[in-house]
Amino acid sequence: VLTLDITPNRPDLLSHLGVAREVAAACGQRLKASLLRPTEKGPEVTTLARVLVEEPAAARRYLARVVQNVKLGPSPAWLRKRLQAIGQRPINNVVDVTNYVLHELGHPLHAFDLSKLGVENGLPTIRVRAARAGETLTTLDGVERKLHPDDLLIADAKIPVALAGVMGGAATEVSGDTTAVLLESAYFDPRRIRRTARRHGLKTEASYRFERGADPGMAGRAVDRCAQLLIEVAEGDVAKGTLDVSQKGEPGREIPLRIHRVAGLLGVELAPEEIVQLLDPIEIRCTSRNESTLRFQPPSFRPDLTLEVDLIEELARRHGYDAVPALLPDASGEYVYVPPSSDLRRDVREALLASGVSEAVTWAFGSPKDHSGEGSPVRLINPLGEEFSALRTSLLPGLLQVLAHNQRHGAQQVRIFEMGTTFHAREGGGPSPSKAAAAAARDRALPREEERVALVLWGGRHFGRWYEGGAEVDFSDLAGVLESVWSRLDLDAPLTLTPQTVPNGQPYCSAVVSAGQTRTGWAARVTPEAVAAHNVIGPVFAAELSVEALAAVPRRRVRYSGLPRFPGTRRDVAVVAKSSLSSEAIRGFIEEHAGGPLGRDVVERVRLFDVYRGKPIPRAHTSLAFAIEYRSSERTLTDAEVSAAFEGVLVKLEHEFGVQVRR
């Protein structure tokens, strides 16, 4: 028994025949695929049943055979053992044969009890149609299902009898008194089957294959094989002929392959004859050729082959990845343009990683209730589930889910970030009379995409250091990480944190993040409601920035600056201010006015180096200590000059902000 991990693009490998085809090609052997037609006996099938397809786009091909005088019972030992070997439970000889052919050839089949099908115009009738309002169907699992108008049904003359390509109905189930069966073999639209299966929460062997793309060319062979086996194991009589309702005139796919393109992508020169020899064993046939191009027709069981690069991928697989030589990159010196946004993304990522923040990658969609803070989110037409039914408007919910996962697994400190795209709905317009206006309307209808970077901090500030006293991260840690990003980007505008309530941010502990006058995002302590909604244990501090807004801020040009020729000096000042007052506003004011009559240029740097709350500082107040560094590039500043400028800015501070200067 082989256990294979089949990727979604290769439905042809979901069968013994498909695997045997690949093994034969790999071993240089011919595939032994016998074409067995059943021995027909009795009346014409057209006198026993009829098939009507009302949804030709959803059912491109529908075949049916009738087998009479069936003796229902247990399957023979060889059939039971083969089904059990692949994990299938034997039921009865009719059902077991359909399951056997499903795994042998990869094409789903279904058997209806012919006597239980409703009669129309004197014949049991099969109708392939869409569900109607108010219809229900009890499927083989005993569940009564309310049908959706998009559901594709197999119905008889009166009622639905199966969810097409998903599961049969209980009303026409093969049972102990069954003597005649109608065998169904069809090709159904993968998207229609996928929607129906997800809508009803069903995942069957049939839907698994149909929604990935069954082989329309295998439908006839599968129903013939099933009928032939029913002769052997159920002593049935196969009626003459097949009911075949197919869409005619569909052109075969042809893919042009440029010979030079093969060498360009693979780095291997393959002659045209070698290309044909590599693709022919997997039934990709060359239909025509010229000096530069080969044209190939892929087989019907390979829906994944649509483009030139698909054929080149098959060539690489067949030629052998180990046979592709290792080549040095082209060193011709050709200039490759790298957009500034790429450098900015790299710098932001490196700054966050250097600050000890790990990168996470989350889903681009989530629950609508988690993404309603910035207007109505864009809803998906065919979601995986309600919790994945909206495109994200923020990166924060995904990071909170990652945080919750880490907390459940015992993490004591989490510092994570993500860089990704968010999606925002646009307001639709009215009818568009011209093609250009219609194209513009379509563009307006598409969601607006914005690239953002978000980070989340939680837990101990210095995990594992006993001498730190178990300090927890707070808003200052978040601001410190943002400062490291600004430092790495070297933006020509200072980082500004303006107190303001933001979505998902707690009042009095949230701020708008700006680069000078350009708003770039927000930073905050996440609200208890948002934390609890994701089963997170708080407090959590988060920030989210627009990459596009950061890219719009000019970056400083790197210039050489010599070592200082003259000594500098430092003055420290501590002020007692209301806790609601921004320390950045005070720092910026000092930086602007600390030079006094000496001018702005002598103030080399102003930095906040201490924050204190507690006695004897009054309640709702904070002590902030700033260091002011003075230096002139032209001469040595005297102590008297610096002291005069320093005293002047202290007076202005008290007057401007109403703070108390601690002398």
Phi, psi of 159 (to 5 degrees): -130, 160
Give the Cα separation of 621 and 578 in Å (integer).
4
Q: Domain range spanning residue 529?
A: 340-427+442-552
pLDDT tens track for 323-347 = 888 877 666 666 677 777 788 899 9
The residue from 526, 552, 578 where one domain ends is 552
Each residue's pLDDT tens digit, 168-195: 999 999 999 999 999 999 999 999 999 9
Residue at 631 is within a domain: yes
- Is residue 7 one of the residues assigned to a domain? no
Identify the bridge partners of residue 421 per DSSP, sorted by sequence position.
Answer: 451
What span, in angstroms and rounded, lies between the C-alpha atoms of 127 and 164? 11
Domain match, 308 and 389 both: no
**Residue 293 forms part of a structural domain:** yes
In the chain, the number of structural domains is 4
Question: Domain of 623: which CATH number?
Answer: 3.30.70.380
pLDDT in tens, 358-368: 999 999 988 88
Does the pLDDT value for residue 399 go beyond 70?
Answer: yes
> What distance, in Å, lies between the first and last C-alpha atoms of the chain?
85
Residue 205 included in any domain: yes
Query: 88 and 237, same structural domain?
Result: yes
Q: What is the mean pLDDT of residues 496-511?
A: 89
Verify that 216 and 104 share a domain, yes or no. yes
Could you tell me the two tokens for 615? 């006695």
Residue 227's domain is classified under what CATH number? 3.50.40.10
Q: What pTM was computed for the model? A: 0.62
Specify whether 349 is located in the same domain as 318: no
Q: Does one domain contain both 71 and 216? A: yes
AA identity, residue 648: G
Please indicate, yes or no, whether residues 366 and 500 belong to a single structural domain of this protein: yes
Type of residue at 354: A
* Residue 122 amino acid letter: G
In whole angstroms, what is the distance from residue 136 CA to residue 163 CA? 11
User: 235 and 268: one domain?
Assistant: no
- Residue 157 and residue 186 share a domain: yes
CA–CA distance from 283 to each of 19, 108, 280, 439 (Å)?
14, 22, 5, 41
- In a shared domain, residues 464 and 400: yes
Q: What is the CATH number of the domain that holds 468?
A: 3.30.930.10
**How far is residue 542's CA from residue 356's CA, in Å, rounded to a whole number?**
15
On whether both 211 and 231 belong to a single domain, the answer is yes
Amino acid identity, residue 124? P
Residue 329 within a domain: no
Q: How far apart are CA 458 and CA 509, in angstroms?
A: 15
Domain membership flag for residue 534: yes
Q: What is the pLDDT of residues 254-271, one digit of tens each?
A: 999 999 999 989 888 999
Last-in-domain residue among 213, 246, 279:
246
**462 falls within a domain:** yes
Average pLDDT, stretch 282-307? 93
| Residue 573 within a domain | yes
Query: Residue 207 corresponds to which tokens in the numbers above?
Result: 């839907």
Q: Does residue 522 share a domain with residue 586?
A: no
Instruction: Look at 106-115, 201-210, 342-351, 443-452 and tell me which has the smallest mean pLDDT.
Output: 443-452
Assign residue 313 the CATH number of its domain: 3.30.56.10
Residue ending a domain, choose from 267, 297, 323: 323
Q: Are residues 227 and 272 in the same domain?
A: no
> What digits encode the pLDDT tens for the residues 627-648?
999 999 999 999 999 999 999 9
